[in-house]
Structures are given as C-alpha cells and as structure tokens.
Chains A and B, each alone.
Chain A
Amino acid sequence: MRMGLIAMMTAISLGALAVEPSERLADPALESRAREVSKALRCVVCQNESIDDSNAELAKDMRILVRDRINAGDSNQAVLDYMVERYGDFVLLKPRVMPTTIALWVAPAVLLALGLLVLIRTMRRRAMAEPTALSSDEALKLKRLMDGAP
C-alpha cells in the first residue's frame, strides 16, 4: 500500500517535470549546462515561466534547440545570444545590465544606502539630544509620585 503510494507520487512528480526524458542529452555535463541555459530563457508563449518549466510546445522545441546547439559545441553564452538576437532581451528572465536596465540593478543598493543614512542620522541626533532639566512644576509632580502621595 505504502509502496504503491510512493510509486504513484513519484510518477506524478516526474510528470510535472517539463523536460521529457527523450529530450535529455546523454552527457550529464552537457545536460546540466542545457538545464542552466533553459532556466535563463523565458517561454515566449507563457511569459512568466522559463522554457525549462514550461509545457508549451514552442518551449519544448526551444529546449531541443538549446540542447542541439550545446551538443554542437556552442558556449552557454552563444546559445543565449542566439535567442536574444531573435526574441530580444525580453527572452532573458534575468535582465542584463544595460543603460535601460541600470536603474533596475542599482536601485536596491541605492535605496538601502539611503535608508541606512537616514537611520544613522536619526540615531545620532537622538543620542546627541541633551536631556533638559525638569521644570519646578514637573519636579513637584515627580516628588509626589515618588512619595506615594495622591
């Protein structure tokens, strides 16, 4: 019973893998490079999945193309460049550093630095603020409280 369940779950999880066994390259090193490249490429049909994750037919054909090119001796970068030449930068899931994307890349660091700056300045100002002496009114109130009088 339990073994049957495990077998079933395994079958289901294998089915969820978009890369079909027949697509895989025999050489594990080349196959892992192909997976890496596929994970970086956007499926142009479904747009928010990589071709490694997508079950779309075009994504499947793209995976096969990626493997054929890697098998033929292309570097990972050459395969990515081929796709960018055809589909534009959009096809890359991770945007490249370019004049149009530089804001995207530096914004987090700049915002973090700004936040830290504000934090440090506020903390310093608080530390430097001298406590002022109590007014006579306040001193009287305090004294009453400390003495336990109403």
Chain B
Amino acid sequence: MRGRLVFLLPLAIVGALMLVFGKRLLDVGRGEDLRILPTVLLDTPVPDMALDAIPGRGRNPDGLTDEDLRGEVALVNIWGSWCVACLAEHPVLNEIAKSGVVPVQGIAWRDSPAASLGWLAKHGDPYARIGQDPKSRAAIAFGVTGAPETFVVDRQGVIRYKHTGPISPEAWERTIKPLVMELSK
C-alpha cells in the first residue's frame, strides 16, 4: 500500500507547483507588475546626500541635502529630462505643487544642467529644491531602478512610501495624498 502511494508523490509535487505558479500568473493578470521591486528602505531615514543646485535656476535656497528633508513632510521625485515617463507625470507634479499640500523636492538624475533647465522652462517647474545627481549617487542610495520614482518622507526624514513609475492623478488622490495628510497631522 505504502509503496503505491509513493508513485503519487510526483503528481502531488507537480500539482503544488502548478498552484504556486498559477497564483503568480493570476496576480499578473490582476495588474500586478512583477518588475516593481519592493523597497527595503521603507521606514529608514533618507540617505546622506549633499546635491548641488542647478546653476541658473534662480531659486534660493536650492540644491538638496538630507537635512532639507527633515522638518516637514515632503515628496522626493527622481526625474530626468531624458525620461519619457517623467513627462507624462509632470502635469500631476505641477498640480501637486500648485495645491500647496506638500512640497515636491526634485533629484535631477543623470542630466545636464542645460537640459534640465530647458525641460523645466518648457513643462513647468513644480520643485521646491532640486539637487543634481549626475553620477547616480543619490539614485543608488535611494535604491532607484528607473525614473520616475517618488518617495514620501515624513517630518523626521524617514521614508514612508515609494511610488515606482509616473504618479497618476488617481495614485495621488487615493494613495499619496491621504498618506501625506496623515503624516502632516
């Protein structure tokens, strides 16, 4: 009897594997993007950084350090003028900045100052401060895999949320704004 059950073992293993893989497939079907990696930086302080301002932007103060991210709730948006998805996201950032709900801090990733300035002049400049990150130092420190990515940072300068990809109006209204309101209490 026991001997015969052993022959059913491979079938049971294959069945279990099919369940596991099937679940993942259904997750993808429901719109879960498996390329989005969960950040391990949640609930950790923002990394040390001291990023230069873009010369000629004409804002004072400008440039971005980790110290600037302590004291108030803020969004940190990593973008580049070369990034098409950033262009799609930009009107939403402009709206957020206009609403005055939360300051948007920018990290200009792998970009030349001239290209950044041209882009901002053309599409609007929602950023309170901008720090340049020409060699990806800040991007790597934030565990960024692609632009745009946006972090919600609380008053203590702790990362509380990461949004991968462009922020849609829905993502802002449903997820990010409520979180910002909660953290600002």
Contacts and interface: CB of A to CB of B under 8 A. Distances in A.
Contacts of B175: none
What does DSSP make chain B's interface, helix, strand, loop or mixed?
loop
Interface string B108-120: 0010000000000
Contact of B140 (A47, A61, A84, A88): A61
B145 interface: yes
Contacts, number: 45
Interface of B: 35, 37-41, 47, 110, 135-137, 139-143, 145-146
8 contacts: A45-B145, A58-B139, A58-B140, A58-B146, A61-B139, A65-B135, A65-B136, A87-B37
A86 B110 contact: no
Given A57-B136, A86-B143, A87-B40, 4 more contacts: A45-B146, A58-B140, A61-B135, A83-B140
A90 B136 contact: no
Given A64-B135, A65-B136, A65-B137, A58 B40 contact: no
A87 B145 CA distance: 9
A62 B41 CA distance: 18
A19 to B, nearest CB: 16
Contacts of B38: 88
B145 A57 contact: no
A65 B37 contact: no
A45 B144 CA distance: 10
Contacts of B41: 86
B37 A62 contact: no
Q: How large is the interface on A (under 10, 10 to 19, 20 to 34, 35 or more residues)?
A: 10 to 19
Given A62-B136, A64-B135, A90 B37 contact: yes
Contact of A58 (B47, B136, B142): B136
A85 interface: yes
A84 B141 CA distance: 11
A44 interface: yes
Nearest to B146: A45
Nearest to B145: A44
Contacts of B47: 86
A78 to B, nearest CB: 15
B114 to A, nearest CB: 18
